Homo-oligomer: A and B are copies of this chain.
């Protein structure tokens, strides 16, 4: 057992996949909300969010959509908010793959972070 495994010995492989994906989704929200963005810079921001969060432990893939349906203001950009984000993070630990999602839920008025699926492969 490597020294790192020592810190996670109370987790199953399935729990570890869920754990690592959840950390990264909390990180993504709080790192990038507030960033100035408009249609011209959308792709560049998405690329940076995806590639930076993919560096974190056990993260296999990150897909970000940003919905810029904002009121026009005279400055031509907005600050990124949680309600604009639709994100899918795929985390893997050994043969377990978890898909963690963040999406604004109208009914809840809240950018909910939840679990789409957890599967052994």
Residues of chain A whose beta carbon lies under 8 Å from any beta carbon of chain B: 3-4, 7-8, 10-11, 14-15, 18-20, 22-31, 33-38, 40-41, 44-45, 47-49, 51-57, 71-77, 79, 81-82, 107-110, 112-118
Contacts and interface: CB of A to CB of B under 8 A. Distances in A.
Which applies to chain A's interface (DSSP): helix, strand, loop or mixed? Answer: mixed
Nearest to A107: B3
A28 B26 CA distance: 8
A17 B56 CA distance: 21
A31 B79 CA distance: 11
B52 A41 contact: yes
Contacts of A27: 26-27, 29-30, 36
